[in-house]
Amino acid sequence: MAGAVIENLSNQKLSYILGILFLVQIAFFLVGAWLAPKPTSSMEFLFRSCIDANVTGRNWVDHQNCHEIELAEHKPLSYDLREIVFMTQMPHKRDNQQLRYHPSFQFLLGVMQPEIRSTAAFKYVRGSKLRLEVRMGARSGGDEKWRDWIEADVVRELDCHFPWGHESGDMRCEALDFFEIGYVPFPFYVMNIRIPIDREGCARDPKNTANCDVGELVGLIMVVIHQNGGFTMVWAWMKTIVVPFLFLTVRWYWDRVQSLARPPLLLEKAIFALGVSTTVLDLPIEWLPLWFERVPFMLLLGDLRQGLFYAVLCSFWLIFAGEHLIDDPTRNNLKSYWRNLSLVGSAGVALLVYDMCERGMQLSDPFYSIWSSSTGTKLAYLSIYLATLFTVIYFSFLFYKIWMVWKLIKQKRSNQYYQNNESRRLKVEAIIFRFKFLMLFTLLCAFLTILSYAMKQHGEAQLHDDEPQESLLTNSTSAFFTGTFGMWNIYVFLLLSMYAPSHKQYAGAQHLMDETEKPNCTFAPSHKQYAGAPVNPKIASQRLNPNIVEITGESVNLAADDTTFP
C-alpha cells in the first residue's frame, strides 16, 4: 500500500500514538477489574410440594396459598396425581428484603436438578423420560396478581446413577437444561410444575410413555443464572463511549481511500470491512431492554454480531498476511484466498447451526433446548468442538503465513539493495520495524481472541453441566473480557489510522521492490528548485536509485527530496 500513514509518520508522533493507545488498553483492563462485577450470578431454588384441589391447573400457586405436603406421605387424590404442584418464586428474599430482577440482567437461564430415589415399588430405568407441565407467571412491582406468561410441556431424558457401592436408594442425576429467556421484562416470577402420570400408558408401553420409570421423585432443585446488572451497565457505557470514535475513524479512512485516483486495493477493502464489523459489534444494543419491554431476540442478535466480527477478523488476518507476501503474484485478488477463507467459513457455519438450533427456537419456546436429549447434547458439543478445532487449525495456519512474511522481509534486508544511501536505509529499517510491530500485535490479538472465544464456548457448555455455578462465565473474568474488547478496538483503530493513504504523496520509501522488477519509470522534478523545468531522461537515468522509487500504477515517481537535477 503505497503512501500509507504508517510509512510516513514520524517516529515521535508514532511513539505518542502508541503510548496513548497503551494507556487506553490498561484502562480497559482496569474498568473490568475495578468497576465491573463478575459477568453472571446464580441463584438456587428449591421447589415446594403443594396441593391444588383445582386439577385444571388454572389457579396460581405461590408462597401465600401453598399447602405444602411431604411427597412420601401423600395419599393420591386423583388418578394421575395432577393435584401435586411443584412451586417456586423468583427471586429470593435476602435479609428480609424482597429482591427484584431488572431488565439489565439481559437473560435468565434455568438448569433443573431432579432428586430421584429408586425403590422396589418405584424403580428407575435408565433413559426414562420426565414430562413436566410448566406454567410461568410474572408480575410488575405494583401488581398483586400473577399474569400468565409462558406455558410449555417439557420432556427431558433422565440420566441418573447410584453412588459408588449402592444399588438402591437416593440417586445422583445429571442436570437438565430447563429454559433460557433472552430478556427479563418483569421483576418477579412464579413457576408451577405438574408431573402427571398416565397409568394406562405406563401399563401398555412404559418405555415410550413419560413419567413411568423415573423412580420416586423426592424433589426438584433449579439453578437460575443471569447476567449481573452492574456488568451490563459497564459494558453498555463502554460501548457507548467507544462507538462514536470508531465510526468517525472508519468514515475518515474510507474518505481518504476514495480520494485516490485508483480503485481501492483488496487490503484497503478488507480493513474497511473490519472497521464496519467492529462498529456493528460496538453498537450498544444493551440499552434496548431498558427502553423496550419485549426484546426476546437479544441473545440471538448478540451471537450473530459476535459471529460476524469473528468471521471478518479472521478473514482479514489471512488477507493481511497474504498481501504482504510481496513476491506473491496472486495478491489483490480475493479468489486466490478461497482455500484459506473456507476454513473460516466452516467454523462460522458450525456456530451458525448451533445458534439457529438453540437461540432461534428459543424465540418462540424458551423451554426448547438442543441440550435436552443425549443426541442433541452430542450435536451441540460436536458443533462447538468442530468450531474450536477449526479455530486452532486456523491460528496455526495464520502463524505460518506471518512467519513466511517475516522470512521474506529478512531476505530483503540481507541484500545490499538499500545500503548505498544511509538516510534511505534508516527510513526502510524504520518501516520494517513498524511492520514487524504490527505483525506481533496481530499475533497477540489473534491469540487473545481465540482464547476469549474458547473461554466463552467452554463457559457456555459449563452452564448446561452439573455444576453451572462453576462456569467460567460466572467467575470473575470481567477484566479479561473488557480488556479483550478494548484490544479489538485499539487494533482496528490502529489499522485504520496507520494504513490510511497519507496526504504526503511523495514522502518516504513505499515498497521493498524485488531486484528483478523493471518498472516503466517517469521522473518528477523537485517542487522546491526545479518546478516546471524540463527533465533530461539521460541524466535522470544516470541518477536513478532504485531505493527510493514509489510504484504508482505503471509509473515510478522519485521522492523530490532524494533526487536532484542539474
Residue with cell 450473530: 304
Q: Which DSSP state fits 416?
A: S
Q: Which residues pair with 139 in a beta bridge?
A: 188
pLDDT in the model for residue 206: 81
pLDDT in the model for residue 194: 92
For the cut 90, the answer to whether the pLDDT of residue 88 exceeds it is yes
Q: Which DSSP state fits 53?
A: S
Per-residue pLDDT band for 471 (boundaries 50, 70, 90) equals low
pLDDT in the model for residue 557: 36
Residues 6+ apart with CB under 8 A from 241: none
- The predicted model gives 330-338 an average pLDDT of 74
Per-residue pLDDT band for 280 (boundaries 50, 70, 90) equals very high
Same domain, 9 and 48: no
Last residue of a domain, one of 227, 248, 277: 227
pLDDT in tens, 296-331: 888 888 888 988 888 898 888 888 877 766 555 556
- 532 domain residue, yes or no: yes
Q: What letter represents residue 330's amino acid?
A: T
Last residue of a domain, one of 205, 227, 249: 227
Rounded to whole angstroms, how far apart are CA atoms 314 and 325? 18
Rounded to whole angstroms, how far apart are CA atoms 198 and 284? 50
- 243 domain residue, yes or no: yes
Which H helix or E strand runs over 61? none
CB 370 within 8 A of CB 379: yes
pLDDT in the model for residue 331: 65
Residues 6+ apart with CB under 8 A from 2: 510, 511, 550, 551, 552
CB 22 within 8 A of CB 210: no
- 506 domain residue, yes or no: no
pLDDT in tens, 356-369: 777 778 888 888 87
For the cut 50, the answer to whether the pLDDT of residue 253 exceeds it is yes
Rounded to whole angstroms, how far apart are CA atoms 557 and 526? 11
pLDDT in the model for residue 539: 42
Tell me the residue range of the domain where 117 lies. Answer: 40-227
Last residue of a domain, one of 199, 227, 255: 227
Per-residue pLDDT band for 564 (boundaries 50, 70, 90) equals very low
Closest alpha carbon to 488 in 459, 446, 454: 446
- 505 domain residue, yes or no: no
pLDDT in the model for residue 291: 87
pLDDT in the model for residue 441: 76
Same domain, 419 and 485: yes
DSSP 507-556: -S------TT-------PPPTTT-TT----HHHHHHH--GGGEEEETTEE
- 508 domain residue, yes or no: no
Same domain, 59 and 167: yes
- The predicted model gives 52-63 an average pLDDT of 80
> For residue 315, what is its C-alpha cell?
478473514
- The predicted model gives 482-504 an average pLDDT of 86
For the cut 50, the answer to whether the pLDDT of residue 269 exceeds it is yes
Same domain, 109 and 176: yes
Per-chain mean pLDDT for the chain? 77
- The predicted model gives 259-274 an average pLDDT of 90
Same domain, 187 and 60: yes
Same domain, 62 and 195: yes
Long-range contacts of 446-454 (CB under 8 A, 24+ apart): 446/317, 446/395, 446/398, 447/395, 448/484, 448/487, 449/310, 449/313, 449/484, 449/488, 450/391, 450/392, 450/395, 452/480, 452/481, 452/484, 453/310, 453/391, 454/388, 454/391
Same domain, 188 and 243: no
- The predicted model gives 529-537 an average pLDDT of 46
pLDDT in the model for residue 262: 85
For the cut 50, the answer to whether the pLDDT of residue 83 exceeds it is yes
Same domain, 172 and 75: yes
A 10 A CB-CB count for 10 gives: 9
CA 36, 241, 473, 183 torsion-angle sign? positive
Q: How many domains does the chain have?
A: 3
Same domain, 236 and 340: yes
- The predicted model gives 385-397 an average pLDDT of 77
Same domain, 27 and 80: no
Same domain, 173 and 297: no
Candidate ranges 154-158, 250-254, 435-439; pick with highest mean pLDDT: 250-254
- 310 domain residue, yes or no: yes
For the cut 60, the answer to whether the pLDDT of residue 43 exceeds it is yes
Taking the CA atoms of the chain, what radius of gyration do you get in angstroms? 32
Rounded to whole angstroms, how far apart are CA atoms 119 and 40? 39
Task: Tell which wins on pLDDT, 178 or 14.
Answer: 178
- 246 domain residue, yes or no: yes
For the cut 50, the answer to whether the pLDDT of residue 553 exceeds it is no
The helix/strand/coil state of 219 is strand
pLDDT in the model for residue 437: 72
Read off the CATH number of the domain in which 466 is found: 1.20.1070
For the cut 60, the answer to whether the pLDDT of residue 465 exceeds it is no
- 140 domain residue, yes or no: yes
Rounded to whole angstroms, how far apart are CA atoms 260 and 203? 81
What pTM does this model have?
0.76
- The predicted model gives 362-391 an average pLDDT of 76
Same domain, 21 and 151: no
